[in-house]
Chain A
């Protein structure tokens, strides 16, 4: 389960039922977060598996290094920040009638 850094504002545990391809990389990031913050706060980290591949100034630079080294496979590009962003995303129960206009 995620560390305290990923606790959501509503008090309960996050729902991890959906498939998340980068869960392993993210958990590794959280395990290394304090160490990364000490030296690289505000930067972007590239992680593959349980390895920090590099630290970059931009998402784009990290992306191209990941693509160059690993190709078209999942790898984590994450901003090193004290607070993990929680994106407000309301639950949808819409059900468009025919999926077209």
Chain B
């Protein structure tokens, strides 16, 4: 079993619990082109094995996981479906993409046939891990100490 364990670092004016409460639990993620990309007829500018790295927010409120639409499009991946998403302020029709997400800290790579493409990069994250991923994991959220444990 692989375990990710982190106490989120406090800034000079923010304690660890306050930091975790404000920003939520995040983990480093690498978005990659799906495995068959080597056969694509186009030149993929970012189709190397490293992909695009950034932060993924662990969001127990999201039914399904998502990647930033601009990031995945920028890697040359095209959508394969659409999905209607409901939010507190209405609903949005979003493109859906195939994608591979790598979590080096967990030693985990997840291949998605379909993952939502949402405009989330402006929030400082490039992916959201929803309950479709969390159903395979143990998540401990210790808000008192500002500590998160993920095991799979």
Chain A positions near chain B (C-beta within 8 angstroms): 2, 6, 8-10, 12-16, 18, 20-23, 25-26, 59-60, 63, 66-67, 71-78, 84-101
Contacts and interface: CB of A to CB of B under 8 A. Distances in A.
Interface of B: 9, 11, 23-24, 26, 28, 36, 40-42, 54-55, 57, 59, 61-64, 66, 69, 76, 78-95, 98, 113-114, 116, 118-120, 123-125, 128, 130
Given A60-B113, A72-B40, A73-B78, A97 B23 contact: yes
A69 B113 CA distance: 19
24 contacts: A2-B84, A8-B91, A9-B86, A13-B90, A14-B84, A16-B93, A18-B93, A21-B79, A63-B80, A66-B80, A72-B40, A77-B81, A86-B91, A88-B87, A89-B66, A89-B86, A89-B116, A93-B123, A95-B123, A96-B55, A96-B124, A97-B11, A101-B9, A101-B55
Contacts of B87: 88-91
Contacts, number: 151
Contacts of B81: 22, 76-78
A96 B23 contact: yes
The 6 closest A-B CB pairs, nearest first, are A96-B124, A8-B91, A89-B85, A72-B40, A90-B61, A14-B91
A73 to B, nearest CB: 6
A94 B79 CA distance: 26
B135 to A, nearest CB: 15
Given A15-B90, A73-B78, A93-B123, A85 B84 contact: yes
B90 A89 contact: no
Nearest to A6: B84
Given A18-B92, A26-B93, A101-B28, A87 B54 contact: no
